[in-house]
Amino acid sequence: MPDTARPADSAVGEREIARLFALQRQAFLKDPYPSREARLSRLDALLRLLDRYENDIVKAISADFGSRASEESLIAEVIGSISTARFAKKNLARWMRPRKVPTPLHLAPARSRLEPQPLGVVGIVSPWNYPVQLALGPAAAAFAAGNRILIKPSELTPRTSDLLKKMISEEFDESVAAVIVGGPETGAAFAAVPFDHLIFTGSTTVGRKVAEAAARNLTPVTLELGGKSPVILDPSADLARAGRSIAYGKMLNAGQTCIAPDYILAPKDSRDAAVDAIAAAARDLYPEIDTTADYTSIVSDRHFERLKAMVEEARAAGARIVEVGSSNALHPQRKMPLTIVVEPPPELRMMKEEIFGPILPVLSVASTDEAIEHVNSGDRPLALYWFGEDVSARDKVLMRTVSGGVTVNDTLMHFAQERLPFGGVGQSGMGAYHGDKGFETFSHMKPVFYQSKMSGGKVLQPPFTPKTHQALKFIRKII
């Protein structure tokens, strides 16, 4: 479909956003600490919606993209969201319990605890590339923490956004959860609301604008952005195994994944073998790539033209290009071959921007140190992937590079592990969620100090006496 926003008359105005926010804020003030049963009920409602609308979700996403395999949407959107909600249910009792904090001897016999407290109203700005999972995943975490939620989904997937609005309205009163649809103006108004927490998933460019709008209200933000996530192939890597993992990670959703491998750093003497291994794996994964429904379309004309321009720029610069699939067959479907670009010059657009499509630059490096230097010369990526069996080389990379997350000898899988926090660092984002971290992100971990009747603190209060100095000497020894 064309890359256009909704007509102005379909956008939700600032007045409606303000109404819903005020409604939820008032409801929260009346019930600031929902019971475990209430939170479980909200998570169960999400699970019912995912079960009831599974087929509709698959159809809406495929229609928005132009083509997306039902299996891909089931795995990434439905099952992923179910996993998050079920994990929250399973761990909710533990998460809600106050956490004991050791109290030092000089403050004994007082007690200290961290008491998780709901924040209030959480805003969720979700992207187009995984329009259900990246809306309902944060929603599950926010519900578990006892919050109310407003969701602003992307205008680039309007059918899915409308479906989300319908789904949420069926199971939730507006005072608990609501979806606001609309274009960029609606998104800007949404980000300007004084939420108790705002989570945004999307591009770094838009993320900056969201952070600026939130800062005016001192709204805390979690920004899940992107960047150029590298793959480092060690000389000890099994190229066939690595090639399949890389091809899958890059071609899932046609590379329209924030943690998709963005480029490869391969040893000079095995660079061409790595290219061959990735291409062979891609042909194995998509043997009928020109005609199969298993391979996803690019979401919009604008993004499609951007990717084609990247390839043409590389071709004009003389880079070697290996395509898996036929451009002539795929382009009319708004699809692209897996396009491996060997040794593209550093000034090319694909080497400066996050690619977000099935284009894969491959660069050669002389050593692990050179690979590390290359990664560290750019912005800190959202993900980093390392392949090999050399433990010392692996640990050197892990210690000397900074990235949001890492998967060793595979791609994408750190995102799927609910017990690992997911988030960026530097230009790839701030804050994290998933699992325990998600509950903590959407909670205020309130420190509470319980003083004892047996407290000896009076000895440190005026009027000061020799006993005060004796007490101070004692405290200096034990702290």
Tens of pLDDT along 166-182? Answer: 999 999 999 999 999 99
Half-sphere exposure of 63 (CA within 13 A, CB side): 12
C-alpha–C-alpha distance, residues 133 and 135, integer Å: 5
| Helices vs strands, H then E, count in the chain | 19, 18
What pLDDT is stored for residue 2 in this prediction? Answer: 36
Q: Is the pLDDT of residue 260 over 80?
A: yes
Q: Is the pLDDT of residue 1 over 60?
A: no
- Give start-end residues of each CATH 3.40.309.10 domain in the chain: 230-423
pLDDT, average across residues 100-120? 96
What pLDDT band is residue 457 in, cutting at 50, 70 and 90? confident
Whether pTM > 0.75 for this model: the answer is yes
Per-residue pLDDT tens over the stretch 298-353 = 999 999 999 999 999 999 999 999 999 999 999 999 999 999 999 999 999 999 99
What pLDDT is stored for residue 12 in this prediction? Answer: 53
Per-residue pLDDT tens over the stretch 139-149 = 999 999 999 99
- Unique residue bearing structure tokens 């702290």: 479
What pLDDT is stored for residue 270 in this prediction? Answer: 97
Q: Is the pLDDT of residue 11 over 60?
A: no
Encoded tokens for 329: 């067959």
Q: Is the pLDDT of residue 3 over 80?
A: no
Tell me the DSSP string of 271-328. Answer: HHHHHHHHHHHHHHH-TTTTT-TTSPPPS-HHHHHHHHHHHHHHHHTT-EEEEES-HH
Half-sphere exposure of 189 (CA within 13 A, CB side): 18
Q: Is the pLDDT of residue 275 over 80?
A: yes
C-alpha–C-alpha distance, residues 438 and 143, integer Å: 10
Beta bridge partners of residue 198, listed in sequence order: 123, 221
C-alpha–C-alpha distance, residues 349 and 149, integer Å: 38
What contacts 229, CB < 8 A, 6 or more positions away? 259, 260, 261, 262, 381, 382, 383, 384, 385, 403
Backbone angles phi, psi at 309, to 5 degrees: -65, -35
Q: Quick one: 8-225+431-444 is in which CATH superfamily?
A: Aldehyde Dehydrogenase; Chain A, domain 1 (3.40.605.10)
Please list the active-site residues: 224, 258
C-alpha–C-alpha distance, residues 472 and 470, integer Å: 5
pLDDT, average across residues 108-115? 96
What pLDDT is stored for residue 40 in this prediction? Answer: 98
Per-residue pLDDT tens over the stretch 181-195 = 999 999 999 999 999
C-alpha–C-alpha distance, residues 317 and 311, integer Å: 10
Question: What is residue 224's three-state secondary structure?
Answer: strand
What pLDDT band is residue 14 in, cutting at 50, 70 and 90? confident
C-alpha–C-alpha distance, residues 157 and 160, integer Å: 6
- Unique residue bearing structure tokens 């071609």: 251
Per-residue pLDDT tens over the stretch 183-236 = 999 999 999 999 999 999 999 999 999 999 999 999 999 999 999 999 999 999
Per-residue pLDDT tens over the stretch 345-393 = 999 999 999 999 999 999 999 999 999 999 999 999 999 999 999 999 9
- Contact criterion met (CB below 8 Å) for 20 and 27: no
The radius of gyration of the chain from alpha carbons, rounded to an integer in Å, stands at 25
Specify the DSSP element, H or E, that contains 406.
strand 405-408
C-alpha–C-alpha distance, residues 418 and 415, integer Å: 7
State the chain's mean pLDDT as an integer.
96
Strand 121-125 relative to strand 148-152: parallel, antiparallel, unpaired? parallel
What pLDDT band is residue 7 in, cutting at 50, 70 and 90? very low
Short-list 9, 467, 14, 420, CA closest to 213:
14
Specify the DSSP element, H or E, that contains 362.
strand 359-365
What CATH number labels 230-423? 3.40.309.10
- Contact criterion met (CB below 8 Å) for 375 and 404: no
Q: Could you say which DSSP state residue 445 is in?
A: E
Half-sphere exposure of 140 (CA within 13 A, CB side): 33
pLDDT, average across residues 78-99? 98
- Give start-end residues of each CATH 3.40.605.10 domain in the chain: 8-225+431-444
What pLDDT band is residue 458 in, cutting at 50, 70 and 90? confident
